[in-house]
Chain A
Amino acid sequence: MIRLRDIRFKYNSRYILDGLNLHVRPGDRIGLVGPNGCGKTTLSHIIMGLLKPESGDVEIFGKVRTEESDFREIRGKIGFLFQDADDQLFCPTVLEDVAFGPLNLGKSPEEAKAIVASTLAALKLDGFAERITYKLSGGEKRLVSVATVLAMEPNVLILDEPTTGLDEETTERLIEILTTSDLTYLIISHDREFVKRTADKVLQIKRGVICEVC
């Protein structure tokens, strides 16, 4: 589904990704670990087309993507969860925020509302629709962010540090949501315990390339 070949990316005149290869197949549940600043987030932004690599191919769903328009096609199909939920949730109410993606994908307001209702129900967030996003607690914000991503019915999920600032209970819920879904996903995290419980394969970025941990 996602295939990166020989990716090089320079940050402050240093190559943080230096000939990196990555292959995500359907059904993969990958955890990506590594120290701060090793390029984990950069890698995910390259997959989404938010950053451009200096060289190398980004192949997604069987096609090499280079232009902004190439990436527009795939953004609905790859759900991306940002590190900071305040970046992700920008609409006033949960309903509008979760509906934002489906509406962008061309759903009618009625279809979007139905998708919101079923997504919230699946995440046990019933009754959240009319809540004000910036008044949610940290854990609630995270779960609603997950809802905004799942509402687009993606084929692949990329989660960037999903457990930052979460309490145990919310972390458990997130683990349950991920492990009971049949989604393909790539989790970027420092949280070894979380990665161990959610991923089948753990990868690490070392000196700009990917190596397998276990």
Chain B
Amino acid sequence: MEIEEFALGDSFIHNMDPRAKIVAAVVFSLVVALSHSLQGVAAAMLFPLVLIALSGISLRKVALRIAVVNAFILFLWLFLPFTVPGTVIFSWGPLDVHREGVLQALLITLKSNAVLLTVMVLLGTSPIFSLVHALSHLGVPDKLVHLFFFCFRYIHVIHEEYHRLIHAMKIRGFKPGTNMHTYRTYAYLVGMLLVRSFDRSSRILAAMKCRGFRDKFYILHHYEMKNYDYVLTASSVLVSGLLLAAR
């Protein structure tokens, strides 16, 4: 699993203060998500595109990730143009394509891609743990931060455990099919993963207690805002402000 594949580069976007990135991404995403102006959202698309160009992350990998999300959006295009009432612009047998429906599908497509790209280029370019630290510096409740962090840290371990179980099933000749045996086996697999994860979490807590853990995490790294961090935050706020004005 390559969760952090974009975090390995070394552009000024990568080196930016993660707090600035989080604030910029949140402000931008909120405004884009709430906007109703098609032109505004289309213009807002420029923001992540410029950032991607500056960060130098692989366009191929970005396209691959975007494709997955857009597969879901494809379903909107299958329904919205035909179901949203309005001016008919095209008729195809018994089906009428409505202008309003097309515009709405387009708006949703642009919005999702703008937000997705921004989050990818801003947050994806920071290692998870610096995001975790940034979140706690920004005053996000400890419990949420820890939850986010442990999810990430142990997703890898659980993933490995999952593969071990799958392999164990395969070497004993398991072939999935559409039958009760397959469903039962998969249920066992999920159940086993849950039980093992629970056991592991108890062991981790025990290990932490043995090293003097008392429900409090201490932060070792501290961040310092630099000029370009302010520039990024300001530009995100500016783009968002323009969007608001465009309404």
Q: What class of interface size applies to chain A in its complex with B?
A: 20 to 34
CA–CA, A86 to B212, complex, Å? 18
The answer to whether A134 and B214 touch across the interface, beta carbons within 8 angstroms, is no
CA–CA, A93 to B132, complex, Å? 13
The answer to whether A134 and B212 touch across the interface, beta carbons within 8 angstroms, is no
The answer to whether A104 and B212 touch across the interface, beta carbons within 8 angstroms, is yes
The answer to whether B220 and A95 touch across the interface, beta carbons within 8 angstroms, is yes
The answer to whether A88 and B156 touch across the interface, beta carbons within 8 angstroms, is no
Looking at the complex, which one of B127, B129, B203, B212 makes contact with A152 (CB distance below 8 Å)?
B212
**B209 within 8 Å of A (CB atoms):** yes
CA–CA, A148 to B218, complex, Å? 15
B238 proximity list for chain A (CB < 8 A): none
If over half of B's interface residues share one DSSP class (helix, strand or loop), that class is named, otherwise mixed; here it is helix
> In the complex where A96-B220, A104-B212, A152-B212 touch, is A90 in contact with B204 (Cβ < 8 A)?
yes
The answer to whether B207 and A104 touch across the interface, beta carbons within 8 angstroms, is no
**B60 within 8 Å of A (CB atoms):** no
The answer to whether A92 and B218 touch across the interface, beta carbons within 8 angstroms, is no
CA–CA, A95 to B129, complex, Å? 12
B210 proximity list for chain A (CB < 8 A): 48, 50, 75, 78, 80, 82
Q: Which residue of A lies closest to B203 (CB)?
A: A87
CA–CA, A87 to B150, complex, Å? 12
**B167 within 8 Å of A (CB atoms):** no
User: Which residues of chain A in 34-53 are interfacial with respect to chain B, using CB atoms and an 8 Å cutoff?
Assistant: 45, 48, 50
User: Which residues of chain B in 202-239 are interfacial with respect to chain A, using CB atoms and an 8 Å cutoff?
Assistant: 203-204, 206-214, 216, 218-220
CA–CA, A204 to B206, complex, Å? 25
The answer to whether A152 and B211 touch across the interface, beta carbons within 8 angstroms, is yes
Interface digits, A194-207 against B, CB 8 Å rule (1 contact, 0 not)?
00000000000000
The answer to whether A105 and B212 touch across the interface, beta carbons within 8 angstroms, is yes
B16 to chain A, nearest CB (A): 19
The answer to whether B220 and A109 touch across the interface, beta carbons within 8 angstroms, is yes
Interface digits, A83-112 against B, CB 8 Å rule (1 contact, 0 not)?
010111011110110011101110001001
Interface digits, A58-94 against B, CB 8 Å rule (1 contact, 0 not)?
0000000000000010011010101010111011110
> In the complex where A92-B153, A134-B153 touch, is A100 in contact with B207 (Cβ < 8 A)?
no
The answer to whether A90 and B209 touch across the interface, beta carbons within 8 angstroms, is no
The answer to whether A75 and B209 touch across the interface, beta carbons within 8 angstroms, is yes
B150 proximity list for chain A (CB < 8 A): 90
CA–CA, A86 to B150, complex, Å? 12
**A190 within 8 Å of B (CB atoms):** no
A134 proximity list for chain B (CB < 8 A): 153, 156-157
CA–CA, A33 to B208, complex, Å? 26
Listed residue (B150, B156, B206, B211) with the most chain A CB atoms within 10 angstroms of its CB: B211
CA–CA, A112 to B220, complex, Å? 9
B211 proximity list for chain A (CB < 8 A): 75-76, 100-101, 104, 148-149, 152
The answer to whether B212 and A87 touch across the interface, beta carbons within 8 angstroms, is no
The answer to whether B153 and A103 touch across the interface, beta carbons within 8 angstroms, is no
> In the complex where A99-B220, A134-B153 touch, is A87 in contact with B204 (Cβ < 8 A)?
yes
Q: Can you list 17 A-B contacts with CB-CB less than 8 angstroms, sorted by A residue number?
A: A48-B206, A75-B211, A84-B203, A86-B157, A90-B153, A90-B208, A92-B128, A92-B153, A93-B129, A96-B220, A101-B211, A105-B212, A109-B218, A112-B218, A113-B220, A134-B153, A134-B157
Chain A positions within 8 Å of B, measured between CB atoms, are 45, 48, 50, 72, 75-76, 78, 80, 82, 84, 86-88, 90-93, 95-96, 99-101, 103-105, 109, 112-113, 134, 148-149, 152
Given A82-B210, A100-B211, 4 further pairs, Cβ under 8 A? A75-B210, A86-B200, A113-B220, A134-B156
